[in-house]
Amino acid sequence: MREIGFIMIFLGVLLFLVAATLSILSLAKGVEISGGGCVIILFFPICFGYGKASSLLILASIILAIVLMAFSYLIFRTISRYPEEQRSMP
């Protein structure tokens, strides 16, 4: 299970670097950039966006945040069914 976490962090950093590189390359060609994101603090999503497609990107971020919260709930509910001895990771 730890390997999945490290892989997800690595893929997130890689995705960020690719997006930053593409946005820098697109500035040289005069292409307009739009972006959006969502930060989840406890149970409160804070979503933001900029550019022409910002409303669509904010909506996508909110949907992804809801999916992430539901997925986290399912994981925690599944883990809570096991006794304390079986919960610890090797």
Do residues 17 and 42 both lie within one domain? Answer: no
- For 43-55, how does the pLDDT look when each residue is reduced to its tens digit (9 = 90+)? 677 777 777 877 8
Do residues 14 and 43 both lie within one domain? Answer: no
Supply 81's token pair.
Answer: 């069914």
Q: Distance between CA atoms of 62 and 27, rounded to whole angstroms?
A: 27
Do residues 26 and 38 both lie within one domain? Answer: no
Instruction: Identify whether the C-beta of residue 37 lies closer than 8 Å to the C-beta of residue 47.
Output: yes
Q: Distance between CA atoms of 48 and 18, rounded to whole angstroms?
A: 20
Assign 90 a pLDDT band (cuts: 50, 70, 90). Answer: low
Domain housing 45:
34-90
What lies within 8 Å, CB to CB, of 4 at 6+ separation is: none
Q: Is 40 left (phi over 0), alpha (psi -120 to 50) or beta?
A: beta
Reply yes or no on whether the pLDDT at 74 is more than 80: yes
- For 15-53, how does the pLDDT look when each residue is reduced to its tens digit (9 = 90+)? 888 877 877 777 666 667 777 777 777 767 777 777 787
Do residues 14 and 38 both lie within one domain? Answer: no
Global model pTM greater than 0.85: no
Do residues 11 and 39 both lie within one domain? Answer: no
- Terminal CA-CA length for the chain: 10
Do residues 53 and 67 both lie within one domain? Answer: yes
Do residues 45 and 89 both lie within one domain? Answer: yes
